């Protein structure tokens, strides 16, 4: 084999190697975009916000840290699911209500109202929130969530996502 | 620094050794038909990858399967494309593996010492058909349901143990929830592991004995051809790219069918299997009554046994195809028969039975699924809270 043909052969093989890398790259990219797109899509899906009926204001008059469980319909993938939620409602007078989500801002356990100690207590890691939902002890990084509320036609609504 | 990292990995993971193994020269005069094996390997990977992503959204239960497939097709971003690739990829896999098998037959590559390579390959072909059979039940539409009912009934005609096999396949007396879970498990766990082991074995044999090359190669031409890497692999890559472009185009432009939700009480439905089982479907039409078992069991089993034992039935020295008139005639006739039966099966007239009005039974398997599909009340309409004051 002459050095020239050896050189040409080497050039051809370099082209083949680049070609294999190029084709592998094209197919991988053409696959990665739709596959990863499909897999991570839920992270970009915005939940539909809606007002959920919590009950008649009349029945909630004078409520102090009253636990209310409620359900509502929401789409869960291909299923129309019944979601269950739990909140604490406090009547602040003058038609104003404060609603605290029961979900601990630490790692998502449900907090409980301790009537004797007058604070919310998380059973998982000992997070404690005061009456206004602020953290007074334990690991939670933020106060309890306060979903938006409104009163319409004598009914208290909470904003659900 | 970069050189040190490269040296670290090279000393522990000698990739250059692996690449050197791939550089083993092939026999001379290798043509593009030798890319079919690589194409089949690519399609298996494509099926595994797209299947793994479809499984993120698929639910293998009669109540949810159909709606989850609809969800993949209509709501998951790129879902219709991924499902399309998986669907058309399965058809492509059957074609490519069949052509690969045909190439090996026509070139006589199954002969000694490659008998085991061949036998493992035949089993792989059957496993690919098994993937097809277990896969198309999963959407739980009319075609899925009825093709599976018929398919399992075919298995049920096996003498002596047919009923036993059918019950094992169904997981009970009828095609239902247990069948779907079984088929899903077979499709996504059992068969993939089997393929993994069989492909490993197949590749080991291919690498160990090397490519059989062309039958007309003189002994000195069995070596000294181009190396597998990068020469042959480049040709394989080009073939794979063309195949991928075709599949992507099919996934984009040809909608994957999804019929009505499976309805076990719908007698007006005319079941047809996936196209690659149409030859068997058509074959069964020629055997009626007590002869049925010939079409359902005797001929398919004989064909499989003949294929498996081919290297032991044809032990003569390897010669070019033009010197093997019997082999050429038998192969051509077999392919012609399969193609003809497939076309006839596809064209067979469907019964024009109008849908009969029926009274719904409360325990009809489709009832639950219907309910879950229908259970889509208007958003906000059902916000009635359930109070629990304490």
Please report the DSSP string for A7-57 in residue order.
Answer: HHHHHHHHHHHHHHHHHHHHHHHHHHHHHHHHHHHHHHPPPPPEEEEEEEH
- Rounded to whole angstroms, the Cα distance separating A153 from A151 reads 7
Q: Does domain B27-272+366-387 have CATH number 1.10.260.40?
A: no
Query: Is it the case that residue B368 has pLDDT exceeding 50?
Result: no
Q: Is B389 in Cβ contact with A67 (below 8 Å)?
A: yes
Contact partners, residue B210, CB within 8 Å, separation at least 6? B24, B26, B27, B222
Chain B residue numbers touching A24 (CB-CB < 8 A): 237
Average pLDDT of A71-86?
A: 91
Chain A residue numbers touching B46 (CB-CB < 8 A): 31
Per-residue model confidence (pLDDT) at position B367: 41
Residue B140's Cβ-side half-sphere holds a number of Cα atoms within 13 Å equal to 27
pLDDT confidence band for B357 (50 / 70 / 90)? low
Q: What is the largest CA-CA distance in chain B?
A: 92
Least-confidence region, from A60-64, B67-71, B86-90, B91-95: A60-64
- Rounded to whole angstroms, the Cα distance separating A67 from B326 reads 85
Length of chain A as a residue count? 161
Average pLDDT of B328-332?
A: 94
Average pLDDT of B36-50?
A: 98
Residue among A97, A109, A80, A76 nearest A146 (CA): A97
**Interchain CB contacts (distance < 8 Å): A and B:** 109
Asked if the bond preceding B316 is cis, omega within 30° of 0, the reply is: no
- Rounded to whole angstroms, the Cα distance separating B175 from B173 reads 7
Domain ranges in chain B?
A: 27-272+366-387
Is A127 in contact with A102 (CB distance < 8 Å)?
Answer: no
Query: Is it the case that residue B370 has pLDDT exceeding 50?
Result: no
Higher pLDDT, residue B225 or B360: B225
Nearest CA in chain A to B23: A13
pLDDT digits (tens, 9 = 90+) for B44-79: 999 999 999 999 999 999 999 999 999 999 999 999
Beta-sheet pairing, A128-129 with A135-137: antiparallel
- Rounded to whole angstroms, the Cα distance separating A88 from A69 reads 9
- Touching check for A77 and chain B: CB below 8 Å? yes
Mean pLDDT score of chain B: 89
Burial of residue A25 (CB within 10 Å: 0-12, 13-18, 19+) is exposed
Is A124 in contact with A106 (CB distance < 8 Å)?
Answer: yes
Please report the DSSP string for B192-249 in residue order.
Answer: HHHHHHHHHHHHHHHHHH-----TT--GGGGSSS-BIIIIIHHHHHHHHHHHHHHHHH
- Rounded to whole angstroms, the Cα distance separating B155 from A114 reads 65
- Rounded to whole angstroms, the Cα distance separating B381 from B43 reads 47
Q: Which of residues 215-234 of B touch A (CB under 8 A)?
A: 230-231, 233-234
Q: What angle do CA B370, B375, B376 make, to 5 degrees?
A: 125
Chain B residue numbers touching A38 (CB-CB < 8 A): 53, 56-57, 76-79, 82
Residue among B56, B233, B327, B58 nearest A18 (CA): B233
- Rounded to whole angstroms, the Cα distance separating A133 from A158 reads 17
pLDDT digits (tens, 9 = 90+) for B285-305: 899 888 999 999 999 999 999
Is A38 in contact with A46 (CB distance < 8 Å)?
Answer: no
Per-residue model confidence (pLDDT) at position A95: 86
- Touching check for A30 and chain B: CB below 8 Å? yes
pLDDT digits (tens, 9 = 90+) for B174-206: 999 999 999 999 999 999 999 999 999 999 999
Torsion of CA B112, B114, B115, B120, to 10 degrees: 180
Q: Which of residues 91-150 of A touch B (CB under 8 A)?
A: none
- Rounded to whole angstroms, the Cα distance separating A122 from A140 reads 9
Q: What phi and psi values does residue A112 have, to the nearest 5 degrees?
A: -125, 145
Per-residue model confidence (pLDDT) at position B223: 81
Q: What angle do CA B337, B342, B346 make, to 5 degrees?
A: 150
**Facing A70 at nearest CB: one of B49, B76, B385:** B385
Q: Is B241 in Cβ contact with A34 (below 8 Å)?
A: no
Average pLDDT of A5-31?
A: 94
Nearest CA in chain A to B375: A80
Query: Is it the case that residue B366 has pLDDT exceeding 80?
Result: no
Higher pLDDT, residue B370 or B284: B284
């Amino acid at each position: 084999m002459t050095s020239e043909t050896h050189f040409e052969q080497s050039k051809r093989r370099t082209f083949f190697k680049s070609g294999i890398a190029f084709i592998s790259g094209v197919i991988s990219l053409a696959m990665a975009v739709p596959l990863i797109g499909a897999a991570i899509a839920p992270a970009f899906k915005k939940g539909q916000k809606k007002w959920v009926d919590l009950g008649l204001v009349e029945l909630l008059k004078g409520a102090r840290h009253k636990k209310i469980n409620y359900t509502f319909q929401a789409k869960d993938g291909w299923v129309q699911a019944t979601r269950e939620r739990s909140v604490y409602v406090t009547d602040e007078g003058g038609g104003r209500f404060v609603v605290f989500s029961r979900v601990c801002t630490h790692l998502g356990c449900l907090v409980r109202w301790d009537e004797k100690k007058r604070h919310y207590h998380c059973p998982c890691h000992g997070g404690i929130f005061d009456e206004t939902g602020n953290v007074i002890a334990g690991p939670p990084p933020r106060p309890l969530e306060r979903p938006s509320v409104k009163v319409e036609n004598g009914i208290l609504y909470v904003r659900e996502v | 620094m970069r050189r040190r990292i490269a040296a670290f990995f090279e000393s522990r993971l000698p990739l250059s050794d692996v690449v050197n193994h791939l550089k083993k020269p092939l026999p001379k005069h290798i043509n593009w038909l030798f890319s079919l094996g690589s194409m089949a390997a690519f399609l298996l990977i494509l099926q595994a990858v797209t299947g793994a992503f479809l499984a993120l959204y698929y639910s293998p239960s009669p109540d949810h399967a159909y709606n989850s497939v609809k969800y993949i097709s209509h709501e998951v971003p790129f879902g219709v494309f991924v499902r399309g690739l998986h669907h058309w990829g399965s058809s492509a896999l059957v074609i490519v593996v069949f052509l690969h098998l045909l190439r090996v037959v026509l070139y006589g590559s199954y002969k000694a010492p490659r008998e085991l390579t061949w036998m493992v390959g035949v089993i792989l072909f059957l496993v690919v058909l098994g993937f097809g059979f277990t896969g198309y039940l999963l959407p739980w539409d009319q075609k899925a349901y009825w093709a599976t009912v018929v398919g399992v009934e075919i298995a049920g005609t096996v003498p002596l143990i047919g009923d036993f096999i059918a019950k094992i396949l169904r997981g009970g007396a009828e095609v239902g929830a247990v069948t779907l879970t079984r088929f899903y498990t077979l499709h996504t766990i059992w068969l993939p592991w089997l393929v993994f082991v069989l492909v490993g074995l197949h590749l080991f044999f291919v690498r160990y004995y090397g490519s059989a090359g062309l039958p007309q190669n003189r002994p000195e031409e069995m070596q000294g051809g181009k190396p597998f890497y990068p020469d042959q692999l480049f040709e394989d890559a080009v073939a794979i790219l063309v195949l991928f472009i075709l599949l992507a185009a099919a996934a984009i432009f040809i909608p994957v069918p999804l019929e009505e939700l499976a309805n076990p009480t719908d007698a007006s439905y005319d079941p047809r299997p996936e196209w690659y089982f149409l030859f068997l479907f058509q074959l069964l039409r020629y055997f009626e009554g007590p002869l049925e078992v010939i079409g359902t069991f005797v001929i398919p089993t004989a064909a499989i046994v003949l294929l498996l034992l081919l290297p032991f039935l044809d032990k003569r020295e390897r010669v070019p195809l033009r010197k093997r008139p019997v082999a050429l005639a038998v192969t051509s006739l077999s392919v012609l028969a399969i193609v003809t039966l497939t076309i006839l099966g596809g064209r067979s007239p469907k019964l024009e039975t109008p849908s009969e009005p029926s009274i719904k039974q409360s325990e009809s398997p489709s009832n639950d699924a219907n309910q879950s599909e229908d259970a889509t009340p208007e958003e906000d309409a059902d916000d009635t809270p359930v109070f629990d004051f304490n």
